[in-house]
Amino acid sequence: MMDKWINNNTISKILALAVAVLLWGMVHLDTGTPSSTLTVSYNNKVIDNVGIQASGLDDSKYVLSTMDTDHVKMEVRGQRSVLTSFFADNYQAKLNLNGLGAGTKTLSLEPDLPDGVELVSMTPNRVTVTIEEKQTKSFNVSIVPKGNPDGGLQLGKPVIAPQTVKVTLPKSQLSTVTTVQGAVNTDGISEKFEQKRVKLKAYNKKGQELTGAVIEPSTVSVEIPVTQQAKSVPVKIVYAGELPDGLALSKVNANVKEAAVYASQDVLSSLSSYVTATLDLSQFTEAGTRTVQANLAAPSGSDKIEPGSIQIQVTVVPSNEVTDTERTLSGIPIVLQGAGDKATTTVTAPVGKTMDVTVKGPQDMVNNLTNDDISLVADVSGLAAGQHEVTLKVGLPKYITQAGNAGQLKATVNIESPSTPAVTNPNSENEPNPSGSGEKGQERPQEGQGSQGGDSDAKTGDNAAAEDKTNPHNGADSSANGTSENSQP
């Protein structure tokens, strides 16, 4: 059936006519459509702060140090759809520095625009630049520890490798470099600090970092030793308790004479001149020689003390077998006590503000005494302004006594209040002026006569000395102990 249709000439003609009409209609419909769909809309756009991109400079020799502006304003044109598809970062102004050397130059800028965008204007279109030559100089490296190590520890000198580095900067900046340093964190460390790569920075004299500096090498290896801060101080034996009746100390020997105190620098600076070990005498009940252990008292604020304890060899003998010996210690300082806050108190005699003290006691104990074991105190509590002779209080260790005229050491002190001038003549207070009129015709008593005023019992230094020579109780110790007055029998 289908074969008959295809072979029929009439049917073929009809089909050919239908296809021809269809093609004609399609062509005429396209060409007859209005041309408004092919019209393109163009707009202008202003872009502020377009960055300038410099290139081509030989960075190994030169640096672009200044440029009178780092951005330009562009006006561009293009299809609206194109303009809206790009951001400000897609626009640049190119600055070609290829082949340029040191100096100041004015150069043209070249716009770098996205595809489909045209430049209308660019402001400015030229820039002035300054190019500087780079220079290199060697500097020593310093390391700055930040933070404190554990208590009682002290940082040693850093070991740096390498010790010198090269810094490259423009000539104008290189001259401002004062230090090249790295910082390390040493807070709380308790052992040797080690860090293989410590980053370095260059600084000027104001402590400001020069960020453009090229440092070669840029890192160093650092080692910082850690040591304990310590102070060596004498060991002093103090006594507690009492020996039984009939016994006495003969010898006391410690196996350690000094101890090391570990502490911060502030504590060590304020540390007293010795540390103590307490020997309890009540543990000795019979004569003989024993070795006992006594702990050392760690000073307040210290971290530790080495050794923590000492061995003390103690010899106890019957009291009737003890042989005392005497010894004079020179240059014991006089300490003032009871001076008011508003008064100025000074020791005027002896001139050196020290005295010699003769002591006696068991030979071994006496031989081990130091000046720190003895104190001389001038108590000026309650004394008015003026010059005074004060009997000194002598502080001695247990079982040590003052030899000779005990308790007769004296010193002259001057007390000056803010409203009272210093007394320059110690004998002026003996001048009588009973009327208080200040008459210059008043005569002073002749030598050997007593004063007529209230100080009739006072003696001058010469009179006291003369009286001492006639006192049968004064021995050789009185001269060794400085000026002294002995009570008459």
CA proximity to 305, closest of 380, 237, 230 = 230
Q: Domain 230-321: give its CATH superfamily.
A: YbbR-like domain (2.170.120.40)
d(CA 184, CA 186): 6
d(CA 253, CA 292): 11
pLDDT tens sequence across 408-465: 789 999 998 876 554 544 444 443 343 333 333 333 333 333 333 333 333 333 333 3
Check if 42-124 and 134-228 are the same fold.
yes
The CATH code of domain 42-124 reads 2.170.120.30
In order of 41, 88, 117, 268, 430, the CA distances from 85 in angstroms are: 15, 10, 11, 74, 112
Task: Locate the DSSP E strands across 56-200.
Answer: 62-67, 71-79, 92-96, 103-108, 110-112, 118-123, 126-146, 153-155, 159-161, 164-170, 177-185, 193-199
pLDDT of residue 38: 53
One CATH from 2.60.120.200, 3.90.1150.10, 1.10.3720.10, 2.170.120.40 for 134-228: 2.170.120.40
Sheet containing 309-318, strands listed edge to edge, beginning at the edge strand earlier in sequence: 247-254, 309-318, 288-295
Tokens of 71: 């951005």
pLDDT of residue 5: 59
Q: Domain map of the chain by residue range? A: 42-124, 134-228, 230-321, 324-429+472-489
At 121 the three-state DSSP class reads strand
- The list of the chain residues with pLDDT below 50 reads 32-33, 35-36, 422, 424-489
pLDDT of residue 92: 93
d(CA 36, CA 279): 118
The CATH code of domain 324-429+472-489 reads 2.170.120.30
Global model pTM greater than 0.85 = no
- Ramachandran angles phi, psi of 295, nearest 5°: -80, 145
Contact 199, 210 (CB under 8 A): no
pLDDT of residue 407: 57
pLDDT of residue 292: 96
pLDDT of residue 443: 37
d(CA 341, CA 380): 12
Running DSSP on this structure, what letter comes out for residue 366? H
